[in-house]
Structure 1
Amino acid sequence: MDIANLVTKAKKGNEEAFEQLISSVRHKLYRTAYSYVKNEQDALDIYQETIYKAFTTLNTLKKPEAFQGWITKILIYKAIDFIRKESKHFPTDKEELFSQLMTEENIDTITYSLDLTEAFNHLSPTYKAIILLRYYHDLSIKEIADIMNYPEGTVKSHLNRAKKELRPILKEGYIYE
């Protein structure tokens, strides 16, 4: 069954459909939360808060096919809120924020090949975030633009520049359109 049908059923109160939706993104949500907070218990708390928020606000989702991007955005905001509460010093500069979130340790939590991990060390934090959202979370350019608060054109140009930087480092076959 496709995501749009499950979202439609879940909006009508079908809890089993909502559970199926969550099970389709559970692993990626947890790993994303963990990459932000680097703590299993905190990541689980953020994950649970995200599920609750998604359940209570599912009726606000206008495009059912955008469920994964929508719930990922909720999770990212929950993670950022958690970090703000835990730390008095939270970066306001996007570059600084992404450099903290996309450290080598965080990237290693997502099982990439050694070649890709090494290649990631050469990318800027913003490029790393865009590559992760596009190819690990399978989000569209529009969804990434919404999450990162960038224009779509900026996301496209960052993605192209990141791929251009990765091409000489990686062997053929790693990055697909």
Structure 2
Amino acid sequence: MDIVKLVKKARKGNDEAFEQLIGTVREKLYRTAYSYVRNEQDALDIYQDTIYKAYTSLKTLKKPESFSSWITKMLVFKSIDFIRKDARYFTTDDEDIFTKIISSEDIESIAISMDLSEAFKFLDSKYKTVILLRYYHDLSIKEIASILNYPEGTVKSHLNRAKKELRPILKEGYMHE
């Protein structure tokens, strides 16, 4: 069913429509939260808080077609708030987020994902956020700028800097312009 129709139904109190909406973003939301906090339980807490907030504030969504970006923005900020409030410094260590993101059965793809995971550990968190939103959530520069409240030029700059940081770490051929 169309996202816009589901949003309209959910706004009218149709819980099944809301559940269908969440079903379209469930996996990406959890993985994004996990990429920030690196802990399954904390990621689930952030994910559930985000779902609740989305449920209670769905009427504030101005553009129903932007549901995915809207809820992702909530999740990113909840993740960042969690990190700040928890007073722990989270880095991108130990877990293979890209091994989970790239779920191809192809051995070559698995090797690539392992390289990406290793490289991802070295990225600054602001670059990690932009990379996740761009390449994992497939959001446009404009959507990322809106989510992060950055000018589009800043998003482009962060993407370019992230690519430059990743390039020497990754084997030749994985990063294409």
Query: Do the two structures share a fold, i.e. TM-score over 0.5?
Result: yes
**Alignment partner of 2:138: what SS?**
coil
Stretch moving more, 78-87 or 65-74: 78-87
Whichever residue aligns with residue 98 of structure 2, its letter is I
Structure 2 residue 62 is the aligned partner of structure 1 residue 105 = no
Is 2:98–2:114's contact at 8 Å kept on the other side of the alignment?
no
Find the counterpart in structure 2 of residue 5 from structure 1. Answer: 5
Stretch moving more, 113-122 or 22-31: 113-122
Whichever residue aligns with residue 103 of structure 1, its letter is T
5 Å-filtered alignment, 1:16-165, equals 16-87=16-87, 101=90, 103-105=92-94, 108-111=96-99, 112=102, 113-120=113-120, 123-163=123-163
1:63-83 deviation line (CA, Å, top 9, x unaligned): 111111111111122223333
Report deviation, 1:172.
5.0
Is 2:130–2:155's contact at 8 Å kept on the other side of the alignment?
yes
C-alpha root-mean-square deviation of aligned residues, in Å?
Answer: 2.7
**Alignment partner of 1:150: what SS?**
coil
Aligned length: 164
1:127-164 deviation line (CA, Å, top 9, x unaligned): 33211111112222222113323101211233244446
CA distance in 1 between counterparts of 2:48 and 2:19 reads 13
Is 2:33–2:76's contact at 8 Å kept on the other side of the alignment?
yes
Is 2:34–2:40's contact at 8 Å kept on the other side of the alignment?
yes
**Alignment partner of 1:47: what SS?**
helix
5 Å-filtered alignment, 1:159-174, equals 159-163=159-163, 169=170, 172=173
Whichever residue aligns with residue 135 of structure 1, its letter is Y
CA distance in 1 between counterparts of 2:9 and 2:80 reads 30
Taking only the aligned residue pairs, the percentage that are identical comes to: 69
Is 1:119–1:170's contact at 8 Å kept on the other side of the alignment?
no
Is 1:116–1:170's contact at 8 Å kept on the other side of the alignment?
no
Report deviation, 1:50.
0.8
